[in-house]
Chain A
Amino acid sequence: MSQAAVAHHEQEVSWNGGVSPMNVSYGKLMMWFFLLSDAFTFSGLLITYGLVRSANPAYDPASGPFTFSTEYWPIPEKVFEAVPFFHGVPLPLVFVGLMTFILIMSSVTMVLAVEAGHRMDRKAVEKWMLWTIVGGFAFLSCQAWEWTHFIVGTDVPTIQNTFGNKVEIFGANLTHNQYGPPAFADFFFFITGFHGFHVFSGVMLNFLVYFRTVQGLYDRRGSYEMIEKVGLYWHFVDLVWVFVFTFFYLV
């Protein structure tokens, strides 16, 4: 069996030249370097958020209880405290905590699918890939709700004083934002939107490999390495969310 496993590994990792730099297959290595470049893109977005945030005044607790104002950066947990079916009940970070849990769980089911793939166990791969797809859709649905709430806004508007005109602001778009400076909403849309788009393409890729597993393509190919490559991408999406969660919602 061990000899068969070694032969199997050789077949998986060997490039066309017959050797395998870094002892991984070409596809897997390229996925790693793509993810490295993608990590730079997300770092760029999150670091720019840090730059603009530190260039804006912060809320001063000495000035009284926290209210939304376009004058200073909001406390994130005051912005993200809405939960579906609990209208008017402040539950800070509960919903985003649920989203984090969903994404981490779908990462676990993905890694179980990869493990099943190593054993050529088609039925188990199908089962875990389906759970991963369900997790991805659940996360996207949560994000759709959160965006809707963010855009529509709370019951009480924020009053903005523009050259003596008092303007009521409900919710947020790219130019007006009831929660804080417009840049806060812009970063929310760009960072969580770019991440959500990654989740969406991840779900599409997950579905593709699930479909091809059902078709028996990987059995015929003699390797489930494709599950591993797509798995790397899916874990990366989870990894980015861990950083977005900290730097956008917690800090």
Chain B
Amino acid sequence: MAHHSEEPQITVLPPDKEKIKKLWRVALIMAIVTGIEFIFAFTLEAGHLKTSIFVALTIVKAGYIVGEFMHLRHEVKVLYYSILIPMVFVVWFLVAMIYEGLSILGAK
């Protein structure tokens, strides 16, 4: 084609085998964690222990998604903490609202 000469010269680099292998390893870990969640879903009685295990495993999965897939763990520290520290408000909000909900139930 006539305009082909205007196209820039693109150097395609070969696949980074090491990096791709690492990504699939993260995917495998997430699949295993989800599998463990399913096992606990059917074997444990509902209660604080079950909820705590689910919350812990969810945070593990969230860590892998944000840290590896979204690459945040490899960004500079300022960016890392700018995203992470505001999440403290969410933790506070969660604790406050669950406490509030239980009080409403108790007052009914």
Contact = CB atoms under 8 A, between A and B. Distances in A.
B75 to A, nearest CB: 7
Interface string A208-251: 00000000100110100000000110011011001101100011
> Interface SS of chain A: helix, strand, loop or mixed?
helix
B12 A121 contact: yes
Nearest to A123: B12
Contacts, number: 143
A36 B83 contact: yes
A251 B87 contact: no
B69 A54 contact: no
Contacts of B20: 112, 115
B105 A54 contact: yes
Size category, B interface: 35 or more
Interface string A45-86: 001101111111100000000000000000101000000000
Interface stretch (A103-111, A147-155, A191-199): A103-111
Size category, A interface: 35 or more
Given A57-B105, A115-B19, A47 B90 contact: yes
Interface of A: 4, 22-24, 29, 32, 36, 39-40, 43-44, 47-48, 50-57, 75, 77, 92-93, 97, 100-101, 104-105, 107-108, 110-112, 115-116, 118-122, 124, 216, 219-220, 222, 231-232, 235-236, 238-239, 242-243, 245-246, 250-251
> When A and B form their complex, which 10 residue pairs have the shortest distance between CB atoms, in order from nearest?
A54-B101, A55-B104, A119-B13, A55-B101, A51-B97, A51-B101, A22-B79, A246-B58, A43-B90, A108-B27
